[in-house]
Amino acid sequence: MKPTRRDMLKTLAGGAALAGCGHARRVAQAAKETAPEPSGPIPKPEPRIERFERLAYGMFIHWGLYSQLGRGEWVMNQEKIPLDEYKRLRDTFTASEFNGRTIAGIARRAGQKYATLTARHHEGFSLYDTRGLSDYDAVQSPAKRDLVAEFIEGCRAEGILPMFYHTTLDWYHPDFGANFDAYLDYLHASVELLCTQYGEIGGLWFDGNWSKADADWKEDRLYGLIRKHQPNAMIINNTGIHKMGQVGHPEIDSTTFEQGRPTPMDRRGMPKYISAEMCQTMNMHWGIATNDYNYMSPQDIIENLCACRKVGANYLLNVGPTAAGAIPDYERATLERVGQWLELHGEPIYNGKPCGVAGPGADFGLDAGGTLYLFVHHIRPGHGQQPGEAAGPGPRTFEGVDRTVSSVTWLDNGEALKFEQKAQALTVTATGFPYGTNTVVRVARVS
Ligand code: GLC
């Protein structure tokens, strides 16, 4: 049976499933015995990383020639479509419904603060004007437009910070296999264009180094040119689905958790503060897959967003525009529904930081500007709940509360909750959702 999204998340949740297997447990145990416990101070985040953490929630956009086939962004590789045949998709790529402003407007209404567009994906086709570096780009397709420029303009108009996904692996460029150094020159020149032609950008998100794990990718040179032209840009390089949360090159600003729940990062003794970001598909594909019905609901997205913020990680949620470049209706509506939840819960979601306050099961606390917020799950028992987790209305005890509490109130309706404080344990009596409401995760402000 095909795994469901929830099975996948469970398997990927910080290797939790592996931990159950004898061999993996022994390996983990041995690693624990030999690896020194992290120690030392937690470094202060550089301003670009601090800004990134406060953006909290972003839109990932996977769009390219593959979108015309509607079977995911790996279709060329999975179906072994010969390059000569696949590259003809350039001649039917019109981008007739692509509108940077419309997409950025959806992100804004979704409560997303940044958007990461696939400027070039593994297929090798660029949505930007490569200015002579390649014949395989949007300006040389029937679209005849620089779509990255339109995306940037739309983002600026809607107050969304634009970022670029850029593949490092390339199924089109002949030098990728045969003449890797020449390929790297091409790749770096491509990235330099993105850093110099579009004004200030929020960051670059690379993906594909895992395809040649032992190659010399000349990361120093690539990241050096980004720092030179875009000193405030985040540098991210996806470590891939099997190496979530790993720390790579010293210039990398954030770890990635591809399709997996981020685990807390122990930053003690790290040479610099690194943020974390979980990216996730809304169904089971990044590029549009018209026969994939396995979609998340607003409830799933709210819970996943909270799970990310619980450990201080960002959440980068994917949309897969259609062949012509429009965001599919279901995706738009679902995002906007979550955006309504965020209108109520924005302050703790964007500004909240982990502060050592832990609740039962999925429940947790965050500190935003000195105010403590408690996130209470499963007030109506059921969805996503793990065995033994607290559920239903009633008392929930949060540990690690080192402040004197005078009131606890729900953010959604201002109702004051009964509470009891004993040393650092705060027990709050969670009330049920008032008839006519269900905000999935209920948040209380503590003062
Ligand atoms: C993977 C896939 C890719 C997708 C990316 C997003 O690395 O190769 O298709 O773009 O994950 O995280």
- 363: closest CA among 334, 336, 335, 401? 401
Question: Ligand 1 centroid vs 165 CA: distance in angstroms?
Answer: 10
Task: Report the pLDDT averaged over residues 125-154.
Answer: 98
- Ligand 1 atom closest to residue 167's alpha carbon, by position in its atom list: 10
Stronger pLDDT, 118 or 22, i.e. the higher one: 118
When the pLDDT of each residue in the chain is averaged and rounded to a whole number, the result is 92
Handedness of CA 191, 193, 198, 200 (dihedral sign): positive
Residue 34 pLDDT:
58
* Ligand 1 neighbourhood includes 258 CB (under 6 angstroms): yes
Tens-digit pLDDT profile for residues 157-174? 999 999 999 999 999 999
DSSP 304: H
> Rounded to the nearest 10 degrees, what angle do helices 329-351 and 47-55 cross at?
130
Question: Ligand 1 centroid vs 412 CA: distance in angstroms?
Answer: 37
Residue 39 pLDDT:
87
The domain over range 353-446 is classified in CATH as 2.60.40? yes
Region of residue 124 (phi > 0: left; psi between -120 and 50: alpha; otherwise: beta):
left
Whole-structure pTM value: 0.92
Strands (DSSP E) contained in 335-382 are 353-358, 364-368, 371-376
Task: Report the pLDDT averaged over residues 266-273.
Answer: 94
Confidence of residue 35 (pLDDT cuts 50, 70, 90): low
* Ligand 1 neighbourhood includes 303 CB (under 6 angstroms): no
Domain boundaries, the chain: 47-351, 353-446
* Ligand 1 neighbourhood includes 207 CB (under 6 angstroms): yes
Strands (DSSP E) contained in 330-405 are 353-358, 364-368, 371-376, 394-398
Confidence of residue 240 (pLDDT cuts 50, 70, 90): confident
Question: Ligand 1 centroid vs 373 CA: distance in angstroms?
Answer: 34
Confidence of residue 369 (pLDDT cuts 50, 70, 90): very high
Residue 163 in 3-state DSSP?
strand
Helix runs in 197-328, H state only = 219-229, 298-310
Tens-digit pLDDT profile for residues 289-300? 999 999 999 999
Residue 244 pLDDT:
87
Per the DSSP assignment, residues forming a β-bridge with 118 are 165
Question: Ligand 1 centroid vs 259 CA: distance in angstroms?
Answer: 10
- Percent of residues, the chain, with pLDDT higher than 70: 92
Task: Report the pLDDT averaged over residues 55-78.
Answer: 98
Handedness of CA 366, 368, 371, 377 (dihedral sign): negative
Closest C-alpha to ligand 1, atom 12: 258
> Rounded to the nearest 10 degrees, what angle do helices 100-110 and 329-351 cross at?
50
- Ligand 1 atom closest to residue 279's alpha carbon, by position in its atom list: 12
Residue 286 above 70 pLDDT?
yes
Cα 291-292-297 angle, rounded to 5 deg: 140
Contacts of 114 (CB under 8 A, 6+ apart): 52, 55, 58, 59, 107, 160, 161, 162, 163, 202
Residue 252 pLDDT:
96
Tens-digit pLDDT profile for residues 414-441? 999 999 999 999 999 999 999 999 999 9
Question: Ligand 1 centroid vs 163 CA: distance in angstroms?
Answer: 16
- Number of other residues whose CB lies within 10 A of the CB of residue 407: 11
CATH code, 47-351 = 3.20.20.80
Question: Ligand 1 centroid vs 92 CA: distance in angstroms?
Answer: 24
DSSP 283: S
In whole angstroms, give the CA distance from residue 114 to residue 112. Answer: 6
